[in-house]
Amino acid sequence: MSRRPEHLAPPEVFYNESEARKYTQNSRMVDIQEQMCRRAIELLLLPEDRTFLLLDIGCGSGLSGNVIEEYGHIWTGVDISWAMLGKYMQNLEVDGDLILGDMGQGMPFKAGIFDGAISISALQWLCNADKSSHNPSKRLYKFFSTLFSCLSRSARAVFQFYPENGEQIELVTTQATKAGFYGGVVVDFPNSTKAKKYFLVLMTGGPTVLPQAIGVNDAETVISYASRREQMRKVRGKSLKNSRNWIIEKKERRRKQGKKVREDSRYTGRRRCGKF
């Protein structure tokens, strides 16, 4: 029996309350999601001295949105699962706007509004027909053509995905090219069965050289991410994540949005004692 989620149920059914809970409480899943998001943002090649508006496709419970905010950017998320979006609404640490929607029905945004887009572990769902009316080729083209329209010129879109086979890679890249994108697939850790990751890197502004894939040295990857994050903090003067100032800033932003937030106290930002 296949263990691929898209073979078990449609995404709006598979990502139920139980599955949504896993994505927010399983530390290993959270860590993997954040690593892939950082790599996707790296592949966007955004200038480090500006704030950009990014689209997070398949945003789920907001894990990727949290990383986007760490880099100092603003984001809007789209997801098909009510349960996953519900977990996002309970997350005090993220501030993106949300839309409930099906990727295969297109992106409902104004032309040229986004400076870039990322998607983690979502694109492969469009290669599967969950209903008799679903045609993967048509749904992929609808998605890519509307995404192309809502991206600014010279913007990039990066998708981390899990293709089932070479035919799916061909299907996805063909429809993206048909919609007007340039680009290709970057494969990190190509010689590793478990660590191998596929990233579809798409560009709106014309053909260019694809970014270099990461090899097999995990240490170099971690250093790269860490140094980039520290550089971003120095440039923008942001508080260190999870520090008292960072938490107070987050709470103040939520208050300005009219959301209910606990009052600050002398215990705000303090580490709690370990479990008995």
C-alpha distances out from residue 117 to 52, 68, 120, 241, 258, Å: 10, 11, 10, 23, 27
Q: Is the dihedral of CA 191, 194, 199, 200 positive or negative?
A: positive
Helix axes 136-150, 166-178, angle to 10 degrees: 50
Q: What is the pLDDT of residue 14?
A: 66
Q: What is the pLDDT of residue 3?
A: 76
- Amino acid found at 158: V
- Residue 182 phi/psi, 5-degree rounding, is -110, 165
pLDDT tens per residue, the chain (276 residues)?
A: 457 776 666 666 666 677 767 777 778 888 888 999 999 999 999 998 899 999 999 988 788 888 999 999 999 999 888 677 777 666 655 577 888 889 999 999 999 999 999 999 899 989 887 777 789 999 999 999 999 999 998 899 999 999 989 999 999 999 999 999 999 999 998 888 888 899 999 999 877 778 888 874 544 333 333 344 455 555 555 666 667 777 777 777 777 666 777 787 766 766 665 554
- Asked if CATH classification 3.40.50.150 holds for the domain at 5-234, the reply, yes or no, is yes
Beta strands in the chain (DSSP E): 53-57, 74-79, 97-100, 114-120, 151-161, 182-188, 197-203
Q: Measured between alpha carbons, how far is 133 from 197 in angstroms, rounded to an integer? A: 31
Region at 125 (left for phi over 0; alpha for psi -120 to 50; beta for the rest): alpha
Q: How many contiguous H segments (helices) and E segments (strands) does the chain have?
A: 9, 7
- The neighbouring-strand residues paired with 266 are none
pTM, full prediction: 0.73
Q: What is the pLDDT of residue 195?
A: 85
Q: What is the pLDDT of residue 12?
A: 62
Q: Where are the domains of the chain?
A: 5-234, 239-275
Of 67, 20, 44, residue with least CA distance to 211: 44
Q: What is the pLDDT of residue 187?
A: 92
Of 185, 173, 174, 183, residue with least CA distance to 204: 183
Q: What is the pLDDT of residue 186?
A: 93
